[in-house]
Amino acid sequence: MSIARFLTAARAAFLALVVTLTGACGGGGGSAGGAAAQDEGTVLLSLSDAEGDFVHYVVDVVSLRLLRADGTAVETLPATGRLDFAAYTELSELISAATVPAGTYVAGEITLDYAAAQVQVEAGGVPVDTVLQDRDGNPLGRETLRIRLDDALPLVVTRARTVLLAVDFDLDASHEVDTSSVPAVVTAAPFLVAERAPVTEKELRVRGPLQAVDVAASSYEVRVRPWHLAPGVPFGSVTVHTDGDTEFEIDGVSFAGSDGITALAALPADTPTAAFGTLNPADRRYDADIVLAGSSVPGATLDAVLGSVVARAGNVLTVHGATIVRSTGAVLLRELVTVTIGDDTPVRRRPGVSVGTDAISVGSQVEVLGTLDSGAGDAATLDATQGRARLLATRLAGAVVATLPGQLDMDLRAIDQRPAGRYDFSGTGVSGEVDADPSNYEVATAALSLAGLEPGDPVRVIGWVRDFGTAPADFDGLSVSQPGPLLSRLGIGWQPAGTAAPFSVANPDALVVDLANETIGLRHHLLVGYHLIDLYDLDAAPTIVPSAAGPGRYAILYGDRVLLARDFADWVAIVNRALGAGALAYGFWTDGAYDRDDNELAARTMGIHLTRLATTDE
């Protein structure tokens, strides 16, 4: 493995299973699907994935059980689901609405089956296949991990109370990637943690066939159907609430507010739907900002291609890292898909915002509906001349070149987590001489503040690529990351031997990794934005301190069990006791805000791999 690939091959991806336990309230009006018995509650499970450089991470989720204090185990997944963890970078997805007995839950178990896993990572700017193994070099099979909650914060399910539990599968923390061999080798020790409330929140997608519409209440009920599964699997029902600001797209036609819910009511039962919005645990309801229905749902009646446009020639798009959703329900992964659009192909940014076909340019994140020709081998083409397209916001990462009034010039390093070198910017400018230049990528920032940004600073921008053939500027920014302590991740490993002395300082107020430890392996990096820093290139190892920016998450992996500490000091005490009793550390990572001037990282999340000991606290 090239040492610099550690964090760029597996940077910060995690699966988040958000478990909302809602007491039955009978009927609609915010219930998560019909009335439950007096001694039961409803469990809503969702998943998401933080940004990372796994192109695809497809594995089967076999089981997710909650364990009560009396030893009772309750299964929350009614069927195995095959999913791509890397597909959920910017949102969560509701995967189940299960009914569970009331009680106090103190732990959970999740089982993953890697027998037919498909995992790809970026290497040299292109996706490459991988072989997955455990620390001993054995192929991964069916892996079950037990998660223990903080004893002081058990999960209490009652008829009248709503609580939230988040289970995060951190791909970065769980894997080391070696891209020096073909296929690449991924060494995994799956790491999941559970907490009563997620540290980060995302938009939640709810999809499934329509069951009923209540126009007066501006709501509708769907039978949850995640993962493009076939009809008939009982994943439960949920009520989706809308209001006057909700945007609808139904069979390619846009509606808003009451007009949208009225149009939805005219559809037959079992019409495919997909909603995007937020779950409000306090009010026990899901509120939708956007609703798609009928043929507007990818894979409903038209095939769909989702990915990033890396090149355009006329009306022919090249889409990279594509996920293909067939109208048959099949899901395919392809490195590149050729998509042909027509001059009149409808293109929208939101249901109510129509744009021209030129709005699809190099760097656009797209969802295109049409008719697929899978071709031979891995070749695939999509004819969207009679279809439609949707644009999603594009995310840029790089370094500041210069700031001007209303403009930011960037050294562009990645677009939607893909290396900038993967993109062919030919044709983006009004002439070839002014095509977008990734070494000096021009972002129009209008009134956005650029105060404090200096040349060389890492920077992130969210917005829209300028129309094809109209650059400069190359991009319209909606938000620009502000200067100050930068969100960063530190990762270090002591593989394969492990170490009994990972830190030179380990007290309730601070941690410092001991860089003089001779057992340190390939992992010794700090990722600041998309700027990768070798810890050995710093004057000293960063001092890691507790974050003051809201709640944190501090976890410890003992073999196949995970313990969640209640705070930074508690985590340090548990780790020190375990190391003192003879445990060895294999890996450590932390996310937080890095202050370069003070060489200090304020840890929001933190985790460590330790050998399991009978004497350790569990």
Domain 303-392 has CATH 2.40.50: yes
pLDDT at 560: 74
pLDDT band at 84 (very low <50, low <70, confident <90, very high): confident
Q: Looking at residues 172-192, what average pLDDT do you find?
A: 79
Average of per-residue pLDDT across 157-174: 66
Query: How far is 284 from 159, CA to CA, in rounded Å?
Result: 12
Q: CB-side exposure of 321: number of CA atoms within 13 Å? A: 32
Residue 575 has pLDDT above 90, yes or no: yes
| Side-chain half-sphere exposure of 437, counting CA atoms within 13 A | 9
Structure tokens at 476: 């319209």
Task: Answer whether 453's CB lies under 8 Å from 483's CB.
Answer: yes
* Mean pLDDT for the stretch of residues 16-21: 47
The span from the CA of 273 to the CA of 268, in Å, is 12
pLDDT, tens only, 27-39: 333 333 333 445 6
* pLDDT, average across residues 435-460: 93
Domain 394-480 has CATH 2.60.40: no
pLDDT at 377 (0 to 100) = 57
pLDDT of residue 194: 65
CA dist 192 and 605 (Å) reads 13
User: Does the pLDDT at position 284 exceed 80?
Assistant: no
Q: Which two tokens stand for residue 212?
A: 């009923």
Highest mean pLDDT among 6-15, 136-145, 518-527, 572-581: 572-581
The total of other beta-carbon atoms located within 10 Å of residue 554's CB is: 27
Whether pLDDT at 380 is above 50:
yes
pLDDT surpassing 70 at residue 494: yes
Q: Given a cut of 90, is residue 497 above it in pLDDT?
A: no
Phi first, then psi, for residue 370 (nearest 5°) are: -175, -145
Q: How distant, in Å, are the alpha carbons of 41, 51, 139 from that of 91?
A: 25, 10, 31
Q: What's the average model confidence in pLDDT over 261-271? A: 96
Mean pLDDT of 309-337: 89
Q: Which residue would you say has higher pLDDT here, 411 or 48?
A: 411
Amino acid (one-letter) located at 169? F
The pair of three-digit structure tokens given for residue 73, joined into one six-digit string? 């185990």
Record the tokens describing residue 246, joined without a space: 């909700």
Tokens of 47: 């998943």
Q: Is the pLDDT of residue 516 over 50?
A: yes
Please state the rounded mean pLDDT for residues 119-143.
Answer: 82
Mean pLDDT of 287-291: 94
pLDDT > 80? residue 63? yes
Least confident among 86-95, 322-331, 334-343, 554-563: 86-95
Instruction: Output the pLDDT for position 187.
Output: 82
Q: What does the pLDDT read at residue 9?
A: 31
Count of C-beta atoms within a 10 Å radius of residue 72? 13
| Alpha carbons 207 and 237: distance in angstroms, whole number | 10
Does 523 or 428 have the greater pLDDT score? 428
User: Where does the pLDDT of residue 618 fall: very low under 50, low under 70, confident under 90, or very high at 90 and above?
Assistant: very low
Longest CA–CA span in the chain (Å) reads: 71
Strands 175-178 and 54-68: unpaired
Rounded Cα–Cα distance for residues 586 and 610 (Å): 6
Asked whether the CA dihedral 151, 153, 159, 163 is positive or negative, the reply is negative
What average pLDDT does range 569-590 have in this prediction? 92
The backbone torsions φ and ψ at residue 467, rounded to the nearest 5 degrees and listed phi first, read -50, 145
- How high is the pLDDT of residue 77? 77
Q: Which residue has the higher pLDDT, 189 or 586?
A: 586
Task: State the CB neighbour count (10 A cutoff) for residue 154.
Answer: 17
Give the integer Cα–Cα distance in Å for 147 and 558.
10
Can you read off the two tokens belonging to residue 418? 């893909």
> What pLDDT band is residue 405 in, cutting at 50, 70 and 90?
very high
pTM for the predicted model, two decimal places: 0.77
Identify the band that residue 11 occupies on the pLDDT scale cut at 50, 70 and 90: very low
Beta bridge partners of 110: 64, 145
The label of the residue with tokens 């009680």 reads 103
Distance CA(428)–CA(409), nearest Å, equals: 16
Give 214-260 pLDDT, tens digit per residue: 999 999 999 888 766 656 666 778 889 999 999 999 999 999 999 99
pLDDT > 90? residue 52: no
Q: Is the pLDDT of residue 396 over 90?
A: yes
Domain covering 204-296 assigned CATH 3.10.180.10 in the classification: no
Q: Which residues pair with residue 369 across a beta bridge?
A: 304, 388
Question: What is the C-alpha separation between 247 and 421, in angstroms, rounded?
Answer: 36
C-alpha 504: how far from its chain's center?
34
Q: What's the CA gap between 425 and 312, in Å, rounded?
A: 8
Report whether pLDDT(347) > 70.
Answer: yes
Q: What DSSP string describes 158-182?
A: -TT-EEEEEEEEEHHHHEEEE-SSS
Q: What is the pLDDT of residue 197?
A: 59
Write the DSSP assignment of 303-328 as a string of letters: EEEEEEEEEEETTEEEEEEEEEE-TT
Stated as kind and residue range, the H or E segment containing 401 is strand 394-404
3-state SS assignment for residue 440: helix
Q: Which residues contact 141 (CB under 8 A, 6 or more apart)?
A: 113, 114, 115
Instruction: Decide the pairing of beta strands 316-325 and 331-341.
Output: antiparallel
Q: How much is the mean pLDDT over the chain?
A: 82
The pLDDT score that the predictor gives to residue 285 is 80
CA–CA distances in Å: residue 427 to residues 69, 96, 243, 316, 348: 63, 45, 42, 12, 22
